Amino acid sequence: MERVAIEPGFEQTLEREPWDLILVDHVLPDFSALGALSVQKRKGLDVPLLIVSDRIGEKAAVSLIRAGARNLCLKEDLSSLAPTIERKLHEPAECGKLRREQAKEERARERLTAAFRARPFRSAWARSRIGSSR
């Protein structure tokens, strides 16, 4: 665990070693959750980023989620933080499995598409159908 409060420190910390989870305060004097999300995206890291906040408006919360935050917890109700952290730490294995399955399906779809396009009957079928509709 390491605590940083400025963007350069955050970047250096991410470069030093792999992380399982990033916990960010929504607003810091010299850094913000949006800044952390920007750094994370720029570095191409697929690490759960959770945001903790005193208060946050609905529009700000939506923009943070759209920017890639995996969850928001209010400081007034930190009882949900521990279960959220535990759940997010177990998600990568499940997400990795899902991504592998999706990639396998995509490769199969590409092979079928390539095979279909390589067959001469495709163009003959298309011509006969066009010819029969006139």
Within a domain: residue 2? Answer: no
* Per-residue pLDDT reduced to its tens digit, 17-53: 888 888 888 877 788 888 888 888 888 888 888 888 8
54 vs 18, 59, 68, 122, CA distance in Å? 28, 15, 20, 61
The reported pTM is 0.59
CA distances from 93 to 28, 85, 86, 126, 131 (A): 31, 14, 13, 45, 53
**Residue 126: inside a domain, yes or no?**
no
Dist. CA 115–CA 109, nearest whole Å: 10
Domain membership flag for residue 19: yes
Q: Does the residue 103 lie in any domain?
A: yes
pLDDT above 70 for 120: no
pLDDT classification of 96: cutoffs 50, 70, 90: low
CATH number at residue 102: 3.40.50.2300
Identify the domain containing residue 20 by its residue range: 7-121
Domain assignment present for residue 134? The answer is: no
58-67 vs 33-43: helix crossing angle, rounded to 10: 10
Spatial distance between the Cα atoms of 134 and 127, rounded to a whole number of angstroms? 11
